[in-house]
Structure 1
């Protein structure tokens, strides 16, 4: 048997681990380079700024190296005087040579300071501009994505991409890009000087470089998973804090303050321990690399000194080599941090650009508007649709809603009622059949024109942080105060608004937290009404309100329903008794339709549910749900 790396066809475990580490490192680097190429394609409008910033970084680094070279030249002047290198430039006296070097040093320092200012301005402004554009482009793209995308992605995930990942890229461009460029320039420029002055010492000085680079990747590979664990633990800690603060009322009501404090302490200690493990590894890097630098410095210091004593190396050149050794090697100690920053930024870039490349399925392919005036006639013609995730949906729905009439949709949860509304608004497109408004297929109408014609009031009311005025006017930003008040009156909201100390200027708080559920629902209705839409859709708009609020909303609907088409989804059958037509949907199909009286007479599912809600039967006797 061979004593090498392989025993027959079998790979030793330690060899497998070593090869796996190299493969992971190579794969990670390849992915990062690909991400960088994608970022440069995205940032093609910034190429001049990128080139300018890169040029300033390079020039600044060259100026930064120059003083060490001048020190060596100055030593040469002091030692060799009229025979120095500077004397060959027609500056004969040592005094003239020192004066020339002083002037040159002054301009080099000025140049270094100037280009440091320029590269910082350019890189930082580029970082700010690019991160702002990336966030804006990503947000605008996400707004165009289909509802199915949002149903499969958490809002936290999307916020992390548009905020944390964009900021990660900004941090790299703000400092990491310049550091990476300058490390490369330092190695090339100093290496060139070394090989010009003494190839032997250059070879000795560069001996630690592979070790330093290997160490940078080694420590990054070891520290990377540890810092990933730290990020997970800090996420757990943030989640625990957020949940506890959101549920503070529950904590207080169960007198669970001490218990929750202990739970938070446990999560916090886990975070501290994860940080301790990562710090232990990352803190070892600089001391280890410092010893590698020492090897290169001692080689230059000792061998170069011997050569200078023997006369085979100019004393000034020896001074240059000694000073430049640290200038060559020391920046490499920051390579691990820069590489880590680069890898994180490129990982973030992949997530950002992947999100930007998500395909929009429901395309806004038409510039056509609805013919005016919009009558509000709605037709579902042989419409079928199934959700890919659950298989639920609707099957062969044929419905006609005359303009100005009120249609009510009832049925068990998941029967397909809300799906019809989503198809009407083109949140999805049907797999078969088509939806028409006034005889025009909605696919042939611009999304703007379609959705401007529909006012939606949903069960889950979302109010934006700001004033009541701003939330009502969200439906028509250019609305004047008279229109806002009129919409509030129609929605039965003006009485409570007028009673508030600040009236329309009352802040609603985040998600409308300062208002009651009924107040939020009435504002939502006012927001829809101020659009004056020919079609009004109410998706369980009264399911979570008290009887008084329900009665108020019903009065509103009876007033506004005469001039527009109203499509209602309701579980409370008392809210739809006046509807012109009631349609019962079960498992995605229409099983009953008619007026309230006709459906009671038919004695089907609708009648059974009516008896339950009016106390004439037990809930388990109904099949509507």
Structure 2
């Protein structure tokens, strides 16, 4: 065998193994969702069995009524058998309809219970995943999992699974009833199963790939739409509307083409089933007619055989539609289960060490870190920051400043070495203790929908209005808040869209300060402030940082002036360490940066 052939076989085996693993993972998720409602599921299936049996009894009762009840009326003027048969027919019809109503209500309860559980799982799991996941997994894909993928599952659960069970039961009961009524009439039906089997097999194998592609293109559409709307300011600023429209049109066309292939599949499969059904029904009718003429078969039995044959193929068409939903749902379930399979890289310790009275001393001991195995940001960092000290991190872009801050906030864990707070490895602290001790303010200054006061109180749930005002006054935000239409009760609108970038940053400062952390990290947090606002914040910082450890990352060297100590970083290493005054007076990197900054103001 050629090398190419061997590789092809290996790839085929891998694909099959991967497909099997995806199916097992999806079924495991579906099983865990159905487990809490398993009693109701069993009850619903029992209802379906009763309803289906009642429906299947109808044609047999019609045959009995025609061949037995009607004969008794004509020959003996005895109406009792006919009345009993009619009564039985009415009872089975009412029973079938009643059970169907019960089934629909019960299946709706199952569907909604499962979907609520799944939505909560996806939200909670996604929220608890580490920053490494969120920085690699686009927000559009996350939204697609929570919206379109779960919506597809809803369509399946709202009736698809129960309809499948009902359809299979109906076919089995119908075939069984036909064989019991007249085995000869069942022969054409059994023969018809052969082309049905091969047609369904072709449809199954072909549609798996095409439905998966359709889900993939659907997710790409959502991703592109979300990214465009999220970055609409950049779109407008750089006049990307036309280019975005072109790329979105390509995505739409890909999705349309994927759906066209799916529709073409159904355009072959569904008519194929109908053609097989028509030929089978014709065969039963023709053969039965000859037998009736020859006196071998009763008219009522022929009518029942025709009805059973027709009814046998009805659920097959429904099963084709179910398969549409099933394949869509399978692809969606694979994607949702895949995201739920993601594991946090930063985990809660099993036996955390309590941090009763944090002081704020930070230590980096031989810390090595990279965002992936190919890129090392911090090769071997040793650093001690005493409690209560304010340090400023400066350096060129990519020097490792923000990475250092993320390790202190434990957004990531070091590849090797330890980051400690008051001598305790951060990996040994509970998330609650760590979040109470360390607060990070970034340049993004994200605000949630709600009032100004509510956004500030996120730093300290239950904070009083006086505490909120004290925090905003300290950072210089109180005056502009009072000029808002409703002061502290002003709705900031979606993502703080009603406020300027500088105002949002001031509110994020107030939110961090009211949390009263032991360690405060400001990652380019003054970048969105104008000069007057920055001076107000600096005055507030000098007061509020006096008794806590602070790490300030800034390109504006004016912000560095309030620091006790300056660390200059380059390629993940600290190349200068000293007070702002000493470094300015020196001839190193910081001195040249300070000179360039001062010249830019001239």
Distance of aligned partners of 1:29 and 1:176 in 2 relative to their CA distance in 1, 3 Å threshold: farther
Match of 1:351 among 335, 356, 365: 335
- How far did 1:430 drift? 1.9
Which one of the candidate residues 169, 189, 212 is aligned to 1:205?
189
Say whether residues 1:603 and 2:594 are aligned partners: no
Deviation at 1:242, TM superposition (A): 5.8
State the Cα distance separating 1:255 from its structure 2 match.
9.0
1:570 aligns with 2:581: no
Give yes or no for the alignment of 1:44 onto 2:35: yes
Could you tell me which of 464, 474, 478 is aligned with 1:490? 474
8 Å CA contact 2:52, 2:169 repeated in 1: yes
Q: 1:512 aligns with which of 462, 471, 496?
A: 496
- Is the Cα–Cα contact under 8 Å of residues 75 and 319 in structure 1 kept in the other structure? no
Q: Which residue of 1 aligns with 2:174?
A: 190
**Correspondence for 1:423 among 407, 410, 421:** 407
1:284 positional shift: 4.3
Is 2:100 the counterpart of 1:116? yes
Per the alignment, residue 464 of structure 2 pairs with 480
Whole-Å Cα distance in 2 between the matches of residues 57 and 592 of structure 1?
A: 77
* 2:345 corresponds to 1:361: yes
| In structure 2, C-alpha distance between the alignment counterparts of 1:542 and 1:175, rounded to whole Å | 55
What is the match of residue 295 of structure 1?
279
The one of 367, 375, 378 aligned to 2:359 = 375
Q: Deviations over 1:242-280 (max 9, x none)?
A: 666667778878999899878877876776666556545
Q: Which residue of 2 aligns with 1:60?
A: 51
List gaps (5 residues or longer) in structure 2: 3-10
Alignment partners' CA distance in 2, 1:320 and 1:48: 36
Q: Distance in 2 between matches of 1:145 and 1:329?
A: 48
- Aligned to 1:435, which of 419, 422, 443? 419
In structure 2, the residue matched to 1:316 is: 300
**Cα distance change of structure 1 residues 140 and 37 upon mapping to structure 2, 3 Å threshold:** closer
1:158 is the counterpart of 2:142 = yes
Q: 2: distance between equivalents of 1:497 and 1:590?
A: 40
> Judging changes above 3 Å, is the alpha-carbon distance between structure 1 residues 275 and 366 closer, same or farther for their aligned structure 2 residues?
closer
Shifted more, 350-359 versus 566-575: the winner is 350-359
Please say if residues 146 and 362 of structure 1, whose CA atoms lie closer than 8 Å, have aligned partners that are also in contact: yes
- 1:584 deviates by 1.2
Q: Is the 8 A contact 1:36 1:346 kept in 2?
A: no
1:212-291 alignment to 2 at 5 Å?
212-219=196-203, 278-291=262-275
Aligned pair 1:334/2:334, yes or no? Answer: no
Contact 2:140 2:223 in 1 (8 A): no
- Deviation of 1:240 (Å): 6.6
Alignment partner, residue 101 of structure 1? 85
Secondary structure of residue in 2 paired with 1:407: strand
Aligned pairs, number:
593
Q: Is 1:500 aligned with 2:484? A: yes
2:448 paired residue number: 464
Kept after mapping to 2: 8 A contact 1:375/1:438: yes
Q: Over the residues paired in the alignment, what is the CA RMSD in angstroms?
A: 3.4
Aligned-partner Cα distance in 1 for 2:478–2:504: 12
SS of equivalent to 1:171? helix
Tell whether the 8 Å contact from 2:119 to 2:146 is kept in structure 1 after alignment: yes
**1:28/1:394 CA distance change after superposition, 3 Å:** closer
C-alpha deviation, 1:196, in angstroms: 1.4
Q: 1:122 to 1:230 in 2, by over 3 A?
A: same
TM-score, length basis structure 2: 0.89
CA contact (8 A) 1:213 1:332 kept: no
1:305, distance to aligned residue in structure 2 (A): 2.2
Deviation track 1:394-426 (CA, whole Å, cap 9, x = no partner) reads: 133222222222111112222221222222222
Unaligned runs of 5+ in 1: 1-8, 11-19, 85-91, 619-625
Matched residues in 2 for 1:582 and 1:257: separation? Answer: 44
Task: Determine if the alignment matches structure 1 residue 448 to structure 2 residue 432.
Answer: yes
Does the CA contact (< 8 Å) of 2:73 and 2:82 recur in 1?
no
Structure 2 residue 394 is the aligned partner of structure 1 residue 402:
no
